[in-house]
Amino acid sequence: MKRVSLTPAVFHLSDRVNAVAPEYARQPIVPRGPALKPILDRLRGKVTDQLEVSDTHEAVIISSSGSGAIAATIGSCVDDNGFLVIANDVYGQRQADFSEQLGIKTVTYSLDFGVKPDLAEIERLVDEHGIKTIGMVHGCTSVGLLNPIAEIGAFCKKKNLKLIVDAIASIYVEEIDIDKCGIDALICSTNKALHSNPDIAFSVIARDYLDEMAQRPGRIPYLDLHKTWQLQSKGSHPYTINIRALLEFEAALDDFNERGGLTARINMYRDRLAILRAGYENLGLKTFLREGMEQQNIGTALYLPEGLTYDSLADELANWNNGDGECYEIYSAQGELSGEVFRIFNMGEYPLDTYRRFINALETCINKLLKG
Ligand SMILES: *Cc1c(COP(=O)(O)O)cnc(C)c1O
């Protein structure tokens, strides 16, 4: 039985990415000197080339999940004037929590989940607290919505503020114009829309920002991005880095580029969403939407139908067996919305028919539970 993952972050990957581990097992690579340098050089170049920021930004790569890059970026980038975090989902709240735990002066602009942030309120908070750095999330995975980075980026440019964006759920599947949005640090990982394993995260940081960061040590010793960048620009890394995961990252990025890059990935996801969202509508499922906030391409947040619990639905789908050889893992909502909303993601290497079969399974399971 193939357990199809309709969850964020771990799902089936391409043969090309999966081929890396057995090859690496035959010949592991020592993460030092002559073997590491060409890999780091190639990867760092491919990342900034794909984002079209080779002239202005540098990629700094670490071994961790996405949250490690959130901590590293906040701890390394934010100056002592403090950090204003737009927290309208779980991951914005995470930025604020990390920042506070790091002892940074943190001002949290808390909103109900998914509610569009208000520029006038951001301006008021910036002026009141003398903040020079804003943190926000682009793809709000916990609610399936996109924050308006272009609008807030234009505001940051006008006010000469640094902008740090968590793009973990949007890189490689949403348009991100780093230059136009004036993004100084873009936080990313390899295991969402890029379709690699969850072992590598990275931050894409403006060179002039890195120059400023040279004047203050990073707040987390192991996750000091300026120090890491200095070494990576010479082809080394301060600690052991997972080379197998770096090679999987490269295989996924090559695969992504050769299959048509960002436009093709967006179209691939939109084709899936066309099947899925039509199916939800047919089933009368209500989508979690908020005014002024567009939907993400990686998935959809839906209200649980009246009389149905998330656990019972997830359980039915996980035990689905109609002879097609597939069962399905879905995801609950996080934080304040759990109990009310559930989520279905459409990442990973699955054919369109899988999504058609899933909609059929979803319909059968919901009907069975509501009758039973
Ligand atoms: C998945 C995700 C993260 C990181 O989660 P990890 O579990 O640490 O990989 C952070 N921000 C957003 C927006 C995400 O979707």
User: 48 in ligand 1 pocket by Cβ < 6 Å?
Assistant: no
CATH topology of domain 15-258: Aspartate Aminotransferase; domain 2 (3.40.640)
Among 141, 147, 249, the mutation site with the greatest number of ligand 1 atoms within 8 A of its Cβ is: 141
Contacts of 291 (CB under 8 A, 6+ apart): 116
Among 73, 143, 189, the mutation site with the greatest number of ligand 1 atoms within 8 A of its Cβ is: 189
The answer to whether domain 2-10+261-371 and domain 15-258 are alike in fold is no
Single-letter amino acid code for the residue at 285: L
Can you give the residue ranges of every domain in the chain?
2-10+261-371, 15-258
| pLDDT for the residue 346 | 98
Contacts of 294 (CB under 8 A, 6+ apart): 145, 146
| pLDDT for the residue 189 | 98
| pLDDT for the residue 210 | 98
Element (H, E) at 3: strand 2-5
| pLDDT for the residue 338 | 81
CATH architecture, domain defined by 2-10+261-371: Alpha-Beta Complex (3.90)
User: 66 in ligand 1 pocket by Cβ < 6 Å?
Assistant: yes
Tokens of 202: 């990275």
| pLDDT for the residue 337 | 85
Is residue 143 within 8 Å of 294, Cβ to Cβ? no
Query: Whole-angstrom Cα distance, residue 240 to residue 143?
Result: 36
User: 92 in ligand 1 pocket by Cβ < 6 Å?
Assistant: no
| pLDDT for the residue 131 | 98
User: 91 in ligand 1 pocket by Cβ < 6 Å?
Assistant: yes
| pLDDT for the residue 293 | 98
Over residues 27-56, the pLDDT tens digits come to 999 988 789 999 999 999 999 999 999 999
User: 71 in ligand 1 pocket by Cβ < 6 Å?
Assistant: no
Q: Which of 325, 310, 300 is nearest to 365 (CA)?
A: 310
Tokens of 101: 């735990």
Query: Whole-angstrom Cα distance, residue 7 to residue 361?
Result: 16
| pLDDT for the residue 339 | 84
| pLDDT for the residue 336 | 78
Among 168, 173, 203, the mutation site with the greatest number of ligand 1 atoms within 8 A of its Cβ is: 168
Q: How far, in Å, is the centroid of ligand 1 from the Cα of 232?
A: 24
Query: Whole-angstrom Cα distance, residue 319 to residue 314?
Result: 9
Q: How far, in Å, is the centroid of ligand 1 from the Cα of 169?
A: 7
Is residue 371 within 8 Å of 307, Cβ to Cβ? no
Q: Which of 120, 114, 63, 76 is nearest to 93 (CA)?
A: 114
Strands (DSSP E) along 121-218, which ranges?
133-137, 139-140, 145-146, 162-166, 185-189, 200-206
| pLDDT for the residue 371 | 87
Query: Whole-angstrom Cα distance, residue 331 to residue 345?
Result: 8
Positions of the chain with pLDDT under 70: none
